[in-house]
């Protein structure tokens, strides 16, 4: 059941058809209208346009069904807990109404809430409150899940656990998530809604990864490499066939069962260039490449576009190094890839 | 010195009247206050003013109009007489009706205040969690507006207990029927029966202190 | 069902004194008393208050009820006595009023004792005089006594029935000065379902022994006791 | 038909009494309610009960004890007489005093409720921002508890306007001094002077509606 | 005026003397007691012990001065704005009491609040509210500043601007800051308070950078290299003399006027090893090193400790690479440093 919306938003209009499963990340600077968009989709805010989930009409010119009829789960930007109730009571709030039994224990365990389940919400710390609110949303039986900055105030370990849970939820239904963190975006997003000052873009992550809205924020670009996974039973290093005889070795984090193709994002800053293949280096991924284009980036840095045969790779190096290596279009060299992020 | 039976009667009658009126008022005022708080319609505003009228009208005005409405020459009084064979004036039912009108704004007002201060974010959350109205009331509205409900009940009860003008006008000082404590004390003082007046007053005082102690003890425990 | 008696405030204490003897002979008749100013009780009766018997402090209200067809013929049951109480010594009642810090009387529009006091003051040219302090009006004659007792007023037009003599109070009996004596009448109300008991009670009240007893209670007996009783 | 001067006087007196009492009560009740809400001392609890007593005591009990206290035989009345040369009973000052005692809990209660619901986090913030008490009141307590203050003022005013029992016992029905509207209406009704009662009641009703319209109109504008 | 505290905290006790200027970062997992510690220092929570700011006693066995007497600025974990007032009114709240005029305009400009100054706080977005709360704290005249997760809900650009402002504030007074983000910690911290389950540590960042409390969170270690800065007027690449004839080239972000020594943190994952010096590579920092020690880290990774002559450097490489390069203690090789973070 995919979510389709065609509605007015702050910066104009949004017309998108989100994937039926998987995570859609809504990204944009503070105050650009992310929460407002989420609230409109939920039905807490009215905006002209239409919204459908699968064959169900949430909103169109004639009809408007209330949030409670949309059968959704939401984690608001603030925790919105009932202060006088315990964490568990907050998590279970309203769950007796749904037909399915609530399986909250795996979720509370993963979010490290077990110790706190019987503590009153008002005595929880800020991060604990956010985790309870997230647990409430994730344990609710719902057709779609909306999470507004669900990982704020969490430390790295809890963040990872929460990301795992969100990915699990996204296996069976669409999940929309607002975040300001690029690492979260890369780790989770399959589909993006990018909200800028004058426009709102949406589409697969591959298509939008180097949109100015994103690159302005992080200051550099990403490349996305894709290819079938070739498992190596002898090691946890598996290979991705990038075509043109090149392979990329990664330790896959997500065992994308069923999908043979895997996608990897590479930060342009994590690519270094070398004229010869360094055989005695600890860098594992060294790929033959040809310079396609050189572009000045911010002060003292040069963006280099490389051709790996059948795919493109971007590198960001100092202009000092570019000079030293005498880079120019057509030059054959080797790209050393320091780090990769597997994306969906 | 044991309390005379008449005094006991008067006190019990007062408590009964205040209790029944407050209970009925809470049942009536909760949805009313909710609607008044939520609705933006003009007729909600008109209703708000009608509900608030007893606030600013002296009880004797209310008593006067009730007396007229209760009289068999008027529709209400005539209907009542036809159905029950009794006049509404000078009856306990009449007093309950009068008390309710008299105390309604004292119950609606604290509730409306409490509802206005309710965190809208939590109500949105409740909607998303698919709580029905009863569950919203039980889990959110009531616990968060508890002080408002306590205030409404206390003020409603107190105002009814203290009701004197209306009772004096539509009650008629009938022992065990409409002679509530305030009237009985007035009566005792008027009959120069100062010891009875003192006694009744002290009993009312004791009941008051006991009631308040219970209330505050519970409130303290809940803190 | 009790026999509900509406009684003018001045007569309530007296009635309470007289009740035990009546109850001894009529153990089945339970009696409840509702006291107030005569005018207030009259209003309540005419608005449908479920009284059986109305003991007024004058003859006017009962005859009005009779004329309206709400009551049987009025009967006298006592003659009231009006006193002037003063805490400061005075040779004449007018002087006491003139020197008073506060004078109290019952509200003339509701209480016959108040009306009587007012007529005296008017006769003496003391009513609403600009040089005098305005009298405070009590809602009935009992409240006058109470204000006097608690020391909140120093001169009061009171009912003899409610006054307990003490040394510090100077008393003027004004009954003889009244143009219209305070003739207290009662009526049995036609709506009553206990007319037999009510009649019995009337007879008792108007009986010779009771009338004699009234002298000690601050009243003068009625002239022709218990003659018209059969007319009811 | 022009309103008789006596009725005009009664109405003005009523409004004056209610206005003065409410004003004094708000000044008195605000710090009192704040202290009652904050303090955990046992004597705060005792004070709380004393303040709440008029809630549960019929006005006639209050009137009765006031009558005794006001008499020159007692300390308060004697002092007052010595200082002012007048008795407290049957005076406007006496009524104001009586009204204040009678209505105190109706003003304290909504304020205390509002103070209890105040967000503690904001008060902490105010402390850190070094706001003094007056500034805290102006910037935080008053705006956030505005509904409580309105409620307190409305209920206090209304309860004073509706005061009848106390006035009946300590007033003395003095035109322009203690004859408030509720007493005037009572007298009119009891003496079957229905046209006067109607007239007075209608004027009170009109004033009530006008007052409420003003109040709600402003509230609506503020929403 | 340095802040000295010796107080009881959740995990035991804390005895620290914070620097008189500069930023102290309080770090620890969600629910470990960071907010409670901050509230205790502010005086909103009572705990046994003593606290002094310079010669002023905030709390000891005899005395306890109220938060308003401490003359401090605080940004709480939640924005705590007055909903009925505008952003500007919130920022100026109580500032008429201080002797100095309030210079808020530079701060609101940097935090991009100018457009919002006359908007009611209740209509601000979550991130906007946080920024207003931060502006309120930073524009207040105070002896010490306490910031509880001040950068939550901010996008990257605003985060950077806010960090600049916080560093400015720290030039004249002590700033205490709670965060869960390692990049913020590295960019800001001069002093650390690390709160663990069983203990609370405090000290200079150099001493604590590889404490388990930190490394558990991020999964890898840092090295800190230090040396005098040797400016290069011809380029924005300056050199740091690491001793033993080695230099590290960086683009200094913080022009640490007056301090000749500069410190740089290097993520162990950003160090790759090579047996020969790759002269034709875009990697700028290649340092000669000797293997000191090999330790297995998490699955498939090896932690290598290197000696650069007079300083130590840590590298995290795959065990696969370690095998390929036949690493063993004493081996001479070259460390390639991909990224550096200048710290205080
Ligand atoms: N009143 C209370 N009663 C019981 N436990 C409390 C109370 N207040 C706080 N706690 C507990 O104390 C611990 C520390 O809370 P604190 O708010 O200091 O955490 P924190 O480190 O700031 O966490 P976060 O990063 O989530 O904000 C939490 O586990 C919390 O549940
Ligand atoms: N009631 C309102 N009146 C005026 N402006 C409003 C109102 N509600 C929201 N806004 C403005 O709309 C814009 C979008 O708000 P929204 O909460 O959607 O932002 P956001 O993208 O979620 O930001 P953040 O990342 O800070 O949470 C903000 O600039 C906000 O000030
Ligand atoms: O007994 Mo009366 O009717 O108060 O004068
Ligand atoms: Mg938002
Ligand atoms: Mg915290």
Which tens digit of pLDDT belongs to each residue from D166-212? 888 888 777 777 788 878 877 777 777 778 878 887 887 787 778 77
Residue B119 backbone dihedrals phi, psi, to 5 degrees = -70, 115
Question: What is the structure's pLDDT at B217?
Answer: 65
Share of chain D above pLDDT 90, in %: 23
Q: Which of D157, D201, D220 is opposite residue B65, by nearest beta carbon?
A: D201
pLDDT at C60: 93
What residues does E184 pair with on adjacent strands?
A: none
Chain C residues whose CB is inside 8 A of the B194 CB are 149
Chains that touch D (3 or more CB pairs under 8 A): B, C, E
**Which of D19, D56, D171 is most worth mutating to test chain B (most B CB atoms within 10 A of its CB)?**
D56
Q: What is the pLDDT along chain A (344 residues), one digit of tens a residue?
A: 788 888 888 778 889 898 888 899 999 888 889 999 999 999 999 989 999 998 899 999 889 999 999 999 999 999 999 999 999 999 998 877 665 655 788 899 999 999 999 999 999 999 999 999 999 999 998 999 999 999 988 888 888 899 999 999 999 999 999 998 888 888 888 899 999 888 888 888 888 888 888 877 766 788 888 888 777 767 777 888 888 788 888 876 655 554 567 888 888 888 888 888 887 888 888 888 899 988 887 777 888 899 888 888 888 888 888 888 888 898 888 888 887 777 76
Contacts by D141-144 with C-beta closer than 8 Å and gap 24+? D141/D34, D141/D115, D143/E82, D143/E84, D143/E85, D144/D114, D144/D118, D144/D119, D144/E82, D144/E84
Start-to-end Cα distance in chain C: 22
**By C-alpha distance, which of A201, A192, A136 is closest to A169?**
A136
Alpha-carbon distances of E316 from A20, C6, D217, E270, rounded to whole Å: 39, 104, 71, 8
Would the CB atoms of B140 and A85 count as touching at under 8 Å?
no
The arithmetic mean of pLDDT across residues B150-171, rounded, is: 79
Which contiguous run of DSSP H or E holds residue A160?
helix A156-169
**Predicted confidence (pLDDT) at residue E214 exceeds the cutoff of 90:** no
Q: With bands split at pLDDT 50, 70 and 90, how would you rate the model's confidence at D219?
A: low
Which of C113, C162, C174 has most ligand 3 atoms within 8 Å of CB, for mutation?
C113
CA distance D16 to A179: 61
Residue C125: Cβ-neighbour burial (10 angstroms; 0-12, 13-18, 19+) = exposed
The Å distance, Cα E34 to ligand 1 centre, comes to: 8
Pairing of strands C170-173, C219-220: unpaired
Which chains have at least 3 CB atom pairs separated by less than 8 Å from chain A?
B, E
CA distances from E205 to D221, E212, E224 (A): 56, 13, 9
CB contact under 8 A, A136 and B129: yes
Average pLDDT over residues D133-141: 91
Give partners of B (≥3 CB pairs < 8 A): A, C, D
Interface test with A, best of B125, B135, B137 (most A CBs within 10 A): B125
Could you tell me the distance, in angstroms and rounded to a whole number, from the CA of residue C147 to the centre of ligand 3? Answer: 15
pLDDT in the model for residue E100: 60
At residue D220 the predicted structure's pLDDT band, cuts being 50, 70 and 90, is low
- Residue E227's nearest CA partner among E213, E239, E211 is E239
Integer Cα distance of B150 and B26 in angstroms: 10
Whether B125 and chain A come into contact, CB under 8 Å, resolves to yes
Ligand 2 centroid to Cα of residue E152, in Å, is 16
With the most atoms of ligand 1 within 8 angstroms of its CB, the residue from E11, E34, E39 to mutate is E34
Whether D118 and chain E come into contact, CB under 8 Å, resolves to: no
Strand bridging mode A332-337 / A271-274: antiparallel
- Asked whether the predicted pLDDT for residue B223 surpasses 50, the reply is no
Facing residue for B208 by CB, picked from D53, D114, D157: D53
Establish, for the pair of chains A and E, how many residue pairs have beta carbons separated by less than 8 Å.
Answer: 171
Pairwise CA distance, residues A22 & E22, whole Å: 44
User: Is the minimum distance from the CB of A152 to ligand 2 under 6 angstroms?
Assistant: no
User: Which ligand is nearest to the Cα of residue A153, counting in written order?
Assistant: 1
How many other CB atoms sit within 10 Å of the CB of residue C212? 11
Mutate to test the interface with D, among C110, C143, C152, C154 (most CBs of D within 10 A): C152
For the Cβ of A36 lying below 6 angstroms from any atom of ligand 2, the answer is yes
Asked if B111 reaches chain D (Cβ–Cβ under 8 Å), the answer is: no
Centre of ligand 5 from the C-alpha of residue E80, in Å: 14
Q: Is the pLDDT of residue D223 over 60?
A: no
Q: Which of B88, B96, B103, B92 is nearest to B162 (CA)?
A: B103
Average pLDDT, rounded, for chain D? 83
Q: Any residues with CB less than 8 A from the CB of A259 and at least 6 apart, and which?
A: none
Q: How many CA atoms lie within 13 A of C109 on its CB side?
A: 13
Cβ A35 under 6 angstroms from ligand 2: yes
* pLDDT per residue of chain C (232 residues) written in tens, 0 to 9: 789 899 998 998 899 889 999 999 999 888 888 888 898 888 888 877 888 999 999 999 999 999 999 999 999 999 999 999 998 888 899 999 998 888 999 988 889 999 999 999 999 988 888 888 888 888 889 888 888 888 888 899 999 998 888 888 899 999 999 988 999 999 999 988 899 999 999 999 999 999 999 999 999 998 764 455 444 3
Which residues of chain B neighbour D158 with C-beta distances below 8 Å? 54-56, 105-106
D169 CA: distance to closest CA in chain C (Å)? 8
Q: Average pLDDT for residues D125-152, to the nearest whole number?
A: 91
Closest alpha carbon within chain D to E141: D129
Residue C8 Cβ inside 6 Å of ligand 3? The answer reads yes
Mark yes or no for CB contact B132/A97 under 8 Å. Answer: yes
Angstrom distance (rounded) from CA C152 to CA D99 = 19
Contacts of B190 in chain C (CB under 8 A): 9, 35, 140, 142-143, 146
Whether C139 sits inside 8 A of D172 (CB atoms) is: no
Say how many residues make up chain B: 223
Residue B83, pLDDT score? 85
Our answer on whether the CB atom of C106 is closer than 6 Å to any ligand 3 atom is yes
**Contact status, residue E24 vs residue E191, Cβ threshold 8 Å:** yes
What pLDDT sits at residue E97? Answer: 62
Task: Judge whether residue B204 has pLDDT over 80.
Answer: no
Across the interface, whether the CB atoms of B132 and A66 are under 8 A apart is answered: no
| Contact between C147 and D190 using a beta-carbon 8 Å cutoff | no
Residue C47 is given by DSSP the state T
Percent of chain A at pLDDT > 70 equals 94
For E102-127, the DSSP string reads: P--HHHHHHTT-GGGTTSBGGGS-HH
> Would strands A49-53 and A3-9 be described as parallel, antiparallel, or unpaired?
antiparallel
Q: Please tell me the number of the ligand nearest to residue C78's CA.
A: 3
DSSP state string for B34-83: HHHHH--SHHHHHHHHHHHHHHHS-HHHHHHHHHHHHSTTSHHHHHHHHH
**Percent of chain E with pLDDT strictly greater than 90:** 35
Residue D103 confidence (pLDDT) above 70: yes
Place of tokens 């009141």: D137
CA separation for the pair B119, B115 (Å, rounded): 9
CA distance A25 to A186: 9
Contact status of B207 with chain A (Cβ, < 8 Å): no
Q: Which ligand is nearest to the CA of A122?
A: 1
Q: What is the pLDDT averaged over residues D25-52?
A: 89
A11 near E CB under 8 A: no
Neighbour count for residue A237 (Cβ, 10 Å): 16
Question: Any chain B CB within 8 A of the CB of C146?
Answer: yes
* Beta carbons of A255 and A266 less than 8 angstroms apart: no
Q: Is the CB of E117 under 6 A from ligand 2?
A: no
The pLDDT, as a whole number, for residue D96 is: 93
- Residue B23 CB partners (closer than 8 Å, separation 6+): none
Which residue has better confidence, E270 or C231?
A: E270
DSSP B100: H
Q: What residues have CB less than 8 Å from D137, skipping those under 6 apart?
A: none
Residue of chain C whose Cα is closest to the Cα of D65: C150
Q: Which of E68, E97, E98 sits opposite D127 (nearest CB)?
A: E68
Q: What is the pLDDT of residue B1?
A: 47
Q: Report chain B's C-alpha Rg in angstroms.
A: 20
Helix (H) / strand (E) element for A26: namely strand A22-28
- State whether residue B203 is helix, strand or coil: helix
What pLDDT, on a 0 to 100 scale, did the predictor assign at position C229? 45
Question: Residue B88 pLDDT > 60, yes or no?
Answer: yes
> Is any atom of ligand 3 closer than 6 Å to the C-beta of C36?
no
Interface check for E120 against chain A (CB to CB < 8 A): the answer is no
């Amino acid at each position: 059941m995919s979510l389709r919306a065609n509605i007015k938003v702050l910066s104009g209009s949004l017309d998108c058809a989100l994937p039926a499963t998987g995570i859609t990340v809504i990204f944009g600077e503070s105050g650009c209208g992310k929460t407002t968009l989420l609230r409109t989709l939920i039905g807490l805010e009215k905006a002209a346009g239409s919204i459908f989930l699968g064959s169900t009409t949430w909103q169109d010119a004639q009809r408007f069904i209330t949030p409670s009829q949309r059968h959704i789960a939401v984690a608001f930007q603030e925790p919105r807990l009932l202060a006088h109730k315990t964490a568990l009571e907050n998590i279970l709030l309203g769950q007796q109404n749904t037909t399915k039994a609530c399986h909250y224990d795996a979720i509370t365990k993963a979010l490290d809430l077990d110790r706190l389940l019987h503590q009153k919400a008002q005595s929880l710390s800020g991060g604990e409150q956010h985790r309870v609110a997230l647990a409430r949303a994730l344990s609710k039986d719902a057709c779609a899940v909306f999470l507004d900055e669900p990982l704020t105030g969490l430390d790295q370990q809890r963040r990872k656990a929460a990301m795992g849970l969100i990915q699990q939820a996204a296996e069976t239904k669409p999940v929309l998530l607002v975040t300001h963190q690029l690492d979260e975006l890369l780790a989770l997003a399959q589909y993006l809604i990018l909200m800028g000052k004058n426009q709102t873009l949406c589409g697969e992550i591959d298509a939008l990864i180097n949109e100015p809205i994103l690159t302005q924020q992080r200051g550099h670009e990403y490349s996305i490499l894709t290819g079938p996974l070739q498992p190596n039973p002898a090691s946890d290093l598996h290979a991705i066939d990038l075509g043109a005889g090149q392979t990329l070795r990664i330790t896959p984090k997500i065992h994308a069962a069923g999908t043979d193709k895997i996608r990897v994002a590479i930060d342009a800053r994590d690519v270094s260039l070398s004229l010869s293949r360094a055989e005695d280096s600890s860098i594992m991924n060294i790929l033959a490449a040809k310079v396609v284009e050189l572009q000045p980036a911010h002060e003292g840095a040069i963006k280099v576009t490389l051709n790996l045969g059948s795919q493109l790779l971007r590198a960001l190096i100092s202009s000092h190094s570019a000079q030293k290596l005498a880079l120019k279009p057509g030059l054959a060299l080797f790209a050393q890839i320091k780090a990769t992020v597997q994306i969906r | 010195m044991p309390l005379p039976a008449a005094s006991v009667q008067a006190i019990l009658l007062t408590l009964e009247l205040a209790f029944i009126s407050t209970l009925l008022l809470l049942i009536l005022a909760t949805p009313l206050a909710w609607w008044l708080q939520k609705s933006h319609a003009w007729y909600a505003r008109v209703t708000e003013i009608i509900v608030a009228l007893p606030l600013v009208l002296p009880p004797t005005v209310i008593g006067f109009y009730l007396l007229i409405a209760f009289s068999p020459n008027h529709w209400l009084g005539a209907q009542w007489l036809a159905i029950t064979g009794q006049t509404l004036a000078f009856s306990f039912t009449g007093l309950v009706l009068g008390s309710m009108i008299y105390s309604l704004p004292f119950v609606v007002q604290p509730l409306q205040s409490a509802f206005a201060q309710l965190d809208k974010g939590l109500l949105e959350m409740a909607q998303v969690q698919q709580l029905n109205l009863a569950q919203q009331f039980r889990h959110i509205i009531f616990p968060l507006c508890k002080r408002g409900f306590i205030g409404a009940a206390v003020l409603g009860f107190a105002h009814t207990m203290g009701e004197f003008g209306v009772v004096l006008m539509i009650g008629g000082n009938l022992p065990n029927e409409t002679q509530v404590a305030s009237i009985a004390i007035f009566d005792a003082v008027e009959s120069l029966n100062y010891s009875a007046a003192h006694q009744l007053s002290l009993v009312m005082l004791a009941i008051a202190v006991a009631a308040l102690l219970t209330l505050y003890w519970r409130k303290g425990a809940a803190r | 069902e009790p026999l509900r008696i509406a009684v003018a405030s001045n007569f309530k204490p007296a009635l309470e004194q007289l009740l035990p003897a009546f109850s001894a002979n009529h153990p089945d008749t339970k009696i409840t008393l509702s006291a107030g100013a005569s005018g207030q009780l009259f209003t309540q009766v005419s608005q449908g208050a479920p009284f059986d018997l109305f003991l007024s402090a004058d003859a006017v209200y009962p005859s009005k009820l009779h004329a309206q067809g709400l009551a049987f013929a009025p009967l006298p049951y006592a003659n009231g006595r009006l006193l002037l109480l003063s805490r400061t010594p005075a040779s004449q009642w007018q002087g006491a009023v003139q020197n008073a810090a506060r004078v109290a009387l019952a509200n003339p529009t509701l209480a016959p004792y108040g009306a009587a006091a007012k007529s005296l003051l008017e006769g003496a040219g003391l009513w609403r005089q600009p040089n005098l302090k305005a009298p405070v009006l009590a809602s009935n004659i009992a409240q006058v006594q109470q204000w006097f007792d608690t020391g909140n007023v120093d001169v009061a037009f009171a009912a003899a029935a409610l006054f307990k003599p003490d040394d510090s109070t100077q008393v003027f009996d004004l009954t003889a000065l009244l143009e219209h004596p305070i003739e207290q009448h009662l009526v049995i109300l036609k709506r009553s379902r206990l007319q037999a008991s009510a009649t019995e009670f009337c007879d008792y009240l108007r009986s010779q022994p009771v009338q004699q007893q009234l002298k000690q209670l601050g009243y003068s007996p009625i002239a022709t006791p218990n003659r018209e009783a059969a007319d009811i």
